[in-house]
Amino acid sequence: MNLKLSYFLKKHGRRINLPLFFFYTTLFYSCLTNATDFEAGRAAYLDRNYEDAIKIFKPLAKKGDSEAQRYLKLIHQAGYRDKTAYKDGKAAYLKNDFKLAFEILKPLADDGDSWSQYILSLMYESGQGVEKNQEESVKWLILAAKSGVPKIQYDLGIRYFYGYGIEQSYDEAAKWWESSANAGIADSQYNLGLMYYRGIGVSKDKNKARILIKKAASQDHDKAQHRLAMIYALDDEDFLTSLSWLRESAKQNNTEAQYNLGVFHEKGYGVSKDLDKAKEWYQLAADQGLEVAIQKIQALEKKDNDVNPPLENITADNSKKGITEEEILSESPEDKFNLTNWLREQSDGKYTLQLASVVKKEAIIHFIENGSFDGKIGFIEVVINGITRYAAIYGLYHSYADAKNAISGLPSSLDTKPWIRKIGAVKKILR
């Protein structure tokens, strides 16, 4: 003990409360130490020595020091993270040790680490190591996206577009995809391009759509390459450029691109007619289970080549005979028939016919493709008792009576009983 302090206590010890004296003395030195540590942490932060800064600020933050907490967030927002801790947390997550992953990643997420926040979002979404909580999942995902990570912004856009665990909003989806697209994420460029092409959530602008989709296509995004090919074919009838992008997409085993190359060779769009080559491309698509490609092969095999006239040499210059979207697959069957977002845009007071409901998407697509329906038909994704189902819907009607009258126009081969449903009621169970 300091000699001066010892003398003071001998002289005045009887007149002071010793426990209280030592409490305040400890508190004084504690505050002095905290202040000194904080300044040391701040100096390390200013020198961009983030590792040392974190070591200093973490104990202070745990004691409730708001400034230390603020600096920890600034460090993570600057792109630095405790790499060792995050690596251990991610490894635990990938090994399905969710309890350990949560213990490691939660403090990092609280400090503002975006990728830790992202994994927490996934854990809450699926109930991995924590109670399933969509609201909590979205909270962490938004925090992670706000830090500016383009890949996470893309995922948040998906949530908003489809309304997964959050109120559906095309505007918000477009906002986050635009931010991500500007950073070069091909998936965001492609999705935002489709929104501009179709006028969903943004003003229809085919020029912007083309620019965005081309950027994604240039990054070997097979769906973007296929879509760009369809833009050149349908909007410009530039079959040579379309063929070029179709081939790039087909190289990546894109089923629709393979099918459409079959169509181009069968019809002579941009190339000479060549049924053997058409069959080859149809076969590649058929091998992946594309039903329409299988049907094409069967139809070509039935042709009697002996009675067919000689094949015409049709080039890109003389084949502009009004190619139609019905001839080619401008969209995948899933995209083509999914009416979930379309239904969201309809008036609650109108009606539709529900024709079937199944748990497998492939089954509902098969039902639609083979049903010989004349009107607008597709499927919607609904959630019933926590289970996702796919329901086939047909038509849009202003009144119950109109919907009832439409039943008589359904194919006679239909073996299910149509259910007249109000749009507003269906919206409540949409996924």
Domain ranges, residue 53: 3-77
Burial class (CB in 10 A: 0-12, 13-18, 19+), 53: buried
Label residue 163 by pLDDT band (50, 70, 90). Answer: confident
Amino acid at 65: D
Place of tokens 């995922």: 155
For residue 69, is it within any domain? yes
- Quote the distance between the C-alpha of residue 180 and its chain's center: 12
Residues 353 and 422 in one domain: yes
What is the distance between the alpha carbons of residues 129 and 92, in angstroms, rounded to a whole number?
11
- Give yes or no for residue 313 having a pLDDT over 80: no
Q: Do residue 412 and residue 342 come from a single domain?
A: yes
Which CATH number do you get for residue 226?
A: 1.25.40.10
Within this chain, do residues 274 and 360 fall inside the same structural domain, yes or no? Answer: no
* pLDDT recorded at residue 302: 77
How does pLDDT run across 326-379, given as a tens digit for each residue? 555 555 555 667 888 778 878 888 899 998 888 877 778 878 877 777 667 888
Last residue of a domain, one of 27, 48, 77: 77
Contact 361, 336 (CB under 8 A): no
The label of the residue with tokens 């094949």 reads 311
Tokens of 32: 């002095």
Q: What is the pLDDT at residue 61?
A: 79
Cα–Cα distance for residue pair 162/138, rounded to 1 Å: 13
The verdict on residue 172 lying in a domain is no
The answer to whether residue 99 sits within a structural domain is no
pTM of this structure: 0.60
Single-letter residue type at 363: A
Q: Are 89 and 101 in contact (CB under 8 A)?
A: yes
In a domain, 261, yes or no: yes
Considering the domain architecture, whether residues 275 and 340 belong to the same structural domain is answered as: no
For the cut 90, the answer to whether the pLDDT of residue 291 exceeds it is: no
Domain count, the chain: 3
Indicate the residue among 55, 77, 99 that finishes a domain.
77
Q: Give a yes or no: residue 122 inside a domain.
A: no
Whether the per-residue pLDDT at 250 is higher than 90: the answer is: yes
Please tell me whether residues 339 and 270 are part of one structural domain: no
- Local confidence band at 323 (pLDDT 50, 70, 90 cut-offs): low
Looking at the domain assignment, is residue 97 inside a domain? Answer: no
95-104: average pLDDT: 91
Assigned domain for 27 exists: yes
CA pair distance 12, 25, nearest whole angstrom: 16
Q: Judge whether 232 and 242 are in contact, CB under 8 Å.
A: yes
- Which among 26, 59, 77 is the end of a domain? 77
| pLDDT tens, position by position, 33-74 | 566 777 887 887 777 677 777 778 878 877 788 888 787 777
| pLDDT mean across residues, the chain | 80
Question: Residue 178: pLDDT band by 50, 70, 90 thresholds?
Answer: very high
Query: What values do phi and psi take at 422, rounded to 5?
Result: -80, 135
State the pLDDT at residue 18. Answer: 53
> Does residue 421 form part of some domain?
yes
Q: Are 258 and 284 in contact (CB under 8 A)?
A: yes
Token representation of residue 211? 């620019």
The CATH number linked to 343 is 3.30.70.1070
